[in-house]
Amino acid sequence: MADTRAIANLTPEQWDDKFFTEYLTENRYAGEMGTSENDIIQVKESLTTKAGDRVNFALVNKLTQDAVTGRGTMEGHEEDMGTRSYELVVDKRRNAVRVAEIDEQFSAISLRDAAKFVLKDWSLKDTEKLIEQSLGAINGVAFAAADATQRDAWLVDNRDRTVFGSGYAGVDHSAGLAELTAATATEWLTTAHIDTMKLYAMTRANPKVRPTRSAANGRSYYTLYAHPLAFRDLKRDSKITDAQKGASLEMENNRIFQGGDLLWNGVIIKEAHGLYDTMTITGEGDSSTVVPAFLCGAQAIGAAYARRWRTKTEEFDYGDKHGVEISAIYGIGKMQYGSGAGDRDDLKDHGVVTGWFASSTAA
């Protein structure tokens, strides 16, 4: 008599592998995630093969030295890359659901499948939330939790990569927000502001913010993650409307573009929906609502996985109910480097130019 064996792709281990693959390809930021220094969100899994609670990323700066030509001597004139590091701590993050016997058979596999949609949706939202919170963080502190002293200190160190829609050039963060006025359309997010943020990234920022290079067409791009209210205001700019007429062909077959994205002057503009919940700032500007946009280049965000997402099952209530837990050990953070004497003194946001704008209407 032949034994019945479980189909390989229905075992819990294979199910979890498939789940993680779908998680990586279906989350909102999948097109910007990768393992190289060219990716906006650089992913590392080095802790999956060794113990530890943090991962170090080597931050690579853009070379600026002129070429040595002709019979010029190269030895002794090599350029210092100015490489520094960013340390990202990982933590365990999890959630779970229960299913009663009357609703589901006693099978770990079918139970996982029954809970698959809600578990995957939660894990995707958890990752997206961490990415969007990181974009607005003040030296690792959530923007809403950062006090005036912390915000001002951050602005002093990041003045070469911060733009206010009003043109404010000081280092008092609250004063910069207070200048933003809803009634002034030039202080909303516009194509002119995107040009300014790109100029900061390419010229004023020290060191410069490196764009990412598309494998599809070899072109270099920055990506702008805009608060939904800022994205809405930008679409009212007639220049954006005209520009999109010729942009559709360039967007085809390119993993970094998604439906609804805009393209302007080598900058891909994406609506970051989660910023509405975490970064809609009220009571700090004349408009009563102030919103951000983040222009990102290579190595803007780090994502470190010590353990991929996996599921576990457990019985409750004398076996009448079965629970499925999903968990991962990982961390996500905005990469920063020390601009002072020490590796982590006077932190700057490595791959991000931050913009603050008025909103045409309240939240």
Question: Which amino acid does the sequence have at 270?
Answer: K
Domain spans of the chain, in order of start: 8-65+81-136+302-348, 154-300+351-358
Residue 26's alpha-carbon distances to 255, 278, 328, 340, in angstroms, are: 12, 22, 17, 39
The pLDDT of residue 183 is 82
Give all strands (DSSP E) within 218-318, no chain letters. Answer: 220-226, 262-264, 267-271, 281-282, 289-296, 301-316
pTM of the model: 0.85
3-state class percentages of the chain: helix first, strand second, coil last, to nearest 5: 35, 30, 40
Among 80, 355, 78, smallest CA distance to 207 is for 80
Q: Closest Cα partner for 336 from 43, 138, 147?
A: 138
| φ and ψ at residue 6, rounded to 5 degrees | -70, 140
Q: Please give the pLDDT value at position 6.
A: 40
Name the token pair of 46.
């080095």
**Other C-beta atoms lying within 10 Å of the C-beta of residue 272:** 25
Cα-based distances in Å from 54 to 83, 115, 188, 280: 19, 31, 39, 31
Token look-up 């702008």 returns 224
* CB environment 159-196: b (16+ within 10 A), e (fewer): ebbbbbbbebeebebeebbbbbbbeeeebbbbbebbeb
The span from the CA of 354 to the CA of 358, in Å, is: 14
* pLDDT at residue number 85: 79
1 close to 102: Cβ distance less than 8 angstroms? no
φ, ψ dihedrals at 247, nearest 5°: -95, -20
pLDDT at res. 8: 43
At residue 354's C-alpha, the angle toward residues 348 and 357, to 5°, is 150
231 vs 208: CA distance, rounded Å: 25
Q: Give the 3-state secondary structure of residue 238.
A: helix
Digitized pLDDT (tens) for each residue of the chain, 363 residues in all: 444 334 444 466 776 777 777 777 788 898 899 988 899 999 998 776 677 778 888 777 666 677 887 878 877 777 666 567 788 999 999 998 887 766 655 455 566 676 777 888 899 999 999 999 999 999 999 999 999 999 999 999 999 999 999 999 999 999 999 999 888 889 999 999 999 999 999 999 988 999 998 766 678 899 999 999 999 999 988 888 777 766 665 665 566 677 788 999 999 999 999 999 999 998 876 657 899 999 999 999 999 999 888 888 888 887 777 788 889 999 999 999 887 666 666 789 999 999 999 998 765
What CATH number belongs to 8-65+81-136+302-348? Answer: 3.30.2400
> Both ends of the chain: CA-CA distance in Å?
69
What pLDDT, on a 0 to 100 scale, did the predictor assign at position 249?
56
